[in-house]
Every structure is written in structure tokens, then in C-alpha cells.
């Protein structure tokens, strides 16, 4: 696995769902690519499971695993 989620936070409002993820990425993997994949998968899965609109997915890279 090329990433590990350390912490997550979810804030639900009438405007939509805001999600904060804090991850560690394996050395040599494209951080931009990993973040884009995570964002699209999280939005898709949450919206399909809940029917609610995901307004924002914030991803903070907390470290690089060597």
C-alpha cells in the first residue's frame, strides 16, 4: 500500500460534507496523483452511500515513508 491514513475529520452542514484527511505517502510515489485518486474515491463513495454532496476533501501529507 502506498499511503496510510493517520487521521480523518468530517464536518456535515446543509451546504455539504467537508472531509479532512491526514496521510503518510510512500517515498517515490507521486503525491499529487495519490491525492487526486483519494479525493475522487472519497467523493464517489460518500456521495453514493449517503446521497449527500461532498463539498470539500482536504488532504494533508503528514510525512513520507521510506
Sheet hosting strand 3-13, strand order edge to edge: 3-13, 16-26, 54-65
Q: How far apart are CA 6 and CA 21, in angstroms?
A: 8
Asked if pLDDT for residue 59 goes beyond 60, the answer is yes
Residues in the chain: 66
pLDDT in tens, 3-43: 565 567 888 988 999 999 999 999 999 999 999 999 999 99
Q: How far apart are CA 14 and CA 64, in angstroms?
A: 35
Q: How far apart are CA 20 and CA 30, in angstroms?
A: 20
At 9 the pLDDT is 87
What is the pTM assigned to this prediction? 0.80
Amino acid at each position: 500500500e502506498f499511503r496510510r491514513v493517520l487521521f480523518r475529520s468530517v464536518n456535515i452542514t446543509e451546504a455539504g460534507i467537508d472531509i479532512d484527511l491526514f496521510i503518510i505517502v510512500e517515498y517515490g510515489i507521486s503525491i499529487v496523483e495519490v491525492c487526486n485518486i483519494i479525493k475522487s474515491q472519497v467523493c464517489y463513495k460518500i456521495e453514493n452511500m449517503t446521497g449527500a454532496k461532498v463539498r470539500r476533501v482536504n488532504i494533508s501529507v503528514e510525512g513520507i515513508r521510506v
